[in-house]
A and B are shown apart, each in its own frame.
Chain A
Amino acid sequence: MIEPTDNNPQRSELVLNMGPHHPSTHGVLRFVVYTDGEIMRRAQPDIGYLHRGIEKIAENKTYPGYMPFTDRINYLEAMFCNQAYAIAIEKILGITPPERAEFLRVIACELNRIASHQVTLGCIAMDLGAFTPFVYLLREREKINDMMEALCGNRLTHNYMRIGGVSADLDDTWLGNLEGFLDHFELILEEFTSLIVYNEILVKRLADVAVICAADAVGYGLVGPNLRASGVNWDCRRDLGYSVYPQLEFDVPLGRGERGTVGDCFERFVVRVEEMKQSCRILRQCLRKLPDGEIQAKVPKMIKAPKAEVYSCVEGARGELGVYVVADGTTKPYRVKWRTGSFSAMSIVEAISRGLMIADLVAVIATLDVIAPETDR
């Protein structure tokens, strides 16, 4: 039966293997949880179950040929991975994509951000036991998937962007659909708010749980919404100003300690809701400002990158998504290294999980938005 980890009955611990197949670990992810009854003494993450060698694959693929593989890094934010990689190669080659292409990229990415946050917020609610908000958000995500399919042909692994542009243009019908979706979705967000966001049970489950202070957040390398929930004002879109984001107006929502402390699980939840609203705002501006013109810059048919090393990053749904490419003058990259938000989020789990309850671990994983394939790559 259950054995203590050491023979001292005073210090007996119950060792639980949470995962790799567990309903709330979102993919195959394992935590070794040392508990004292319901209270955790330690939760050690054990990653690597979803390692597919995506970085190694790059070394055997041509520069454009690697693009579909970036979709698979994270099934929820394929567009961002596309964009980060495309920007990196464009930097090496010294290409500037046409402005329309940049706008199309931003539209696709912000839609993708909404879709990703929908899954995240839905999963947080589902992991806390409320199944219905998840279904409502996925229903809306389905509309985004349909639009993505009309735009680039696939619903999940988009492979939309190309080096120097994007693969397909969009038309007025599509833009009309997008506007209709935004009108609808802002109302759905309002409904979602009254359904679950300030639900007292949810607030009680999330507020003041697993507080990450700003110093810790920076120290552990948290990025994106997790970092901003801790009150650190950093957003690559605004602060690094890549693509056409400098032309667009948007706020960066920060954790305010609305119902608990800055940096608790509830802030990480609310920041994502606010980010979806900001994404809607960005999309509306894009609809107004979208210029005419080319969607693809002139790129040689066989891309041969000069010797160079570049790092490019975009603000993905899980924060700064960086790619480091080393080119050695051939048609294939010498090395590609991805820096993903989930990986650094995973590193903080052990530190903040001490003294929490088992049910809180579920909330922590869900609100940190840890996606196993992104962690393992």
Chain B
Amino acid sequence: MEELSRNIVEALGLNPFWEQVFYALAIIVVAVVVFMAALTIAGLLTYLERRVAGRIQSRVGPNRVGPLGLLQWLADGLKLVMKEDLIPACADRPMFRLAPYAVVVGVFAAFVSVPFGQLLIAADLNVGIIYLLAITSLVSVGVLMSGWASNNKWSLLGGIRSAAQIVSYEVPSALSILSVVLLAGTLSMQGIIQAQGGQEYHAEFWARGGWPWNWFIFHNPFAFIAFFLYFTAAVAEGNRTPFDLPEAESELVSGYNTEYSGMRFAGFFLGEFANIYLMSAVATTLFFGGWQIPGILPEEQASSWSLQLMGLLIFVFKAAIGCFVVIWLRWTLPRLRVDQLMGLCYKYLVPFAFICLGGNAVYILLIKAGSTFDWIVHGAMTLFGFALVVYFFVRVTHHIRLVKDRVDFDILSRGTKKPFDPAVQTRRYGRHRKGARALEITGQQGKEIG
């Protein structure tokens, strides 16, 4: 961007002072674009969540606003914006107002270093992953602030729970990320992606680019476990079921955001959903080969726009699957208790994370990257992973057959569409509604049904 602004200034023959101005402008534009993209993603995720939850629960989910209900999130957002802005009487007003911003900033600022594509990244920081870990910690500050400022005991409990939870789960999360950093040898997000299939020894077609056996999740057994540790810790950091104790609906009413409504609530809400995408995107980057296309080296990809687009789609698809898994977990699992949550972190996740870190280090030391044994391990892990998926689907079909249900692939479930019957509408909603107008148009008399 610096180069770009310098070129513009030189072309226009302006004072070097303007270089700084153009640079600042460019930063603002990029920031707005990233913010808008993140907002849209978060909004669409709320739609996805409701839709998936609906299907999981034998329901349909939102399907009225727009085609397939796709605009539901816009309608909801509009509703939240228009709602009355309520602040409890004895709340700590400045803190109360500030808290949602901390959450929103914490999550959305992290989008800056999310690599959507090879060239589509706002800032490829050389400490990208550390930046992500650092900036998302701002969320816990916001949550704690809102819990305190609401002057509500439930909120306070929620805020305290959240602070304890996020601080604890940073440890296994960071440790399992470190495993990947060891394997990749870099902290930069793009560098980590490139390391999964873009190294010198990835020369053959079957070894080039984003084949599953190049992904870090299938790199070795320790990395495989590290992924699950990271994912668990990330779900916990994102306050999602089974770790949604800060907003445990049945215990703390709504936890730290009990007193929030309208736009401020929307801030928390969007922050939560943007966070889901964020953790899926990070998981995709660290463990699933990011935007790499199977059989194509990053250098080839950089030269073609269509390959770039394909890379973007691959990245978004992988991240969407991650989001789906998070949503699916939420609608399946019960919630842990607060002591069990800490126990899980310190008794299980942290020791395992240390083992993974050590295991990965030993693996790198003992086995030369690109050696035959290395490839055998990759292949075996990939086969193991696919075997797990296959076994899972066997269980799924078993459950469908168990209750003698029929398989139905109408996943979008448009619902039963009936032709509009003005007579029915008139009888149900009265004459001055849609039904009456339709009657006038068709000239029909309301006929009875029954």
Contact = CB atoms under 8 A, between A and B. Distances in A.
B248 interface: yes
Contacts of A194: 399
A290 interface: no
A130 B336 CA distance: 10
B244 A205 contact: no
A129 B242 contact: yes
Interface stretch (A73-81, A162-170, A183-191, A227-235): A183-191
User: Interface extent on B, as a size class?
Assistant: 35 or more
A187 B402 contact: yes
* Max chain A C-beta neighbours (<10 A), residue from B59, B156, B337: B337
A358 B337 CA distance: 9
A359 B241 contact: no
A191 B153 contact: no
* Max chain B C-beta neighbours (<10 A), residue from A1, A38, A139, A190: A38
B153 A359 contact: no
A201 interface: yes
A359 B337 contact: yes
Nearest to B156: A2
Contacts of A187: 402-404
Contacts of A358: 157, 251-252
21 contacts: A2-B153, A16-B153, A16-B154, A23-B249, A23-B250, A24-B251, A38-B339, A125-B334, A127-B250, A129-B244, A132-B56, A136-B57, A187-B402, A187-B403, A195-B332, A204-B337, A205-B337, A358-B157, A358-B251, A359-B245, A362-B251
A40 to B, nearest CB: 12
Nearest to B154: A16
Contacts of B153: 2, 14, 16
A201 B402 contact: no
A225 B124 CA distance: 61
* Max chain A C-beta neighbours (<10 A), residue from B153, B251, B334, B339: B334
A131 B59 CA distance: 13
A184 B405 CA distance: 10
A360 interface: yes
A191 B402 contact: yes
B339 A129 contact: no
A337 interface: no
Interface string B168-188: 000000000000000000000
* Max chain B C-beta neighbours (<10 A), residue from A2, A126, A130: A130
Nearest to B254: A23
Interface of B: 53, 56-59, 90, 151, 153-154, 156-157, 161, 241-242, 244-245, 248-253, 331-340, 399, 402-404
A359 to B, nearest CB: 5
Contacts of A360: 337
Contact of B151 (A1, A14, A359): A1
B250 A24 contact: yes
Interface string A101-145: 000000000000000000000000111111110011001000000
A357 B251 CA distance: 10
A317 to B, nearest CB: 22
Contacts of B241: 129-130
B404 A204 contact: no
Given A357-B339, A359-B251, A360-B337, A139 B58 contact: yes
A244 B198 CA distance: 77
Contacts of B161: 38
Nearest to A14: B153
A110 B161 CA distance: 43
B403 A201 contact: no
A130 B333 contact: yes
A23 B252 CA distance: 9
Nearest to A135: B57
A52 interface: no
Contacts of B248: 129, 359
A286 interface: no
A201 B59 contact: no
A24 B244 CA distance: 16
Contacts of A362: 250-251
A194 B398 CA distance: 11
Nearest to B164: A38
Given A135-B59, A205-B336, 15 more contacts: A22-B253, A24-B250, A38-B338, A125-B334, A129-B241, A129-B334, A130-B334, A135-B57, A135-B58, A184-B403, A187-B404, A199-B333, A205-B340, A359-B337, A362-B250
Nearest to A187: B403
A196 interface: yes
Contacts of B331: 131-132
B338 A191 contact: no
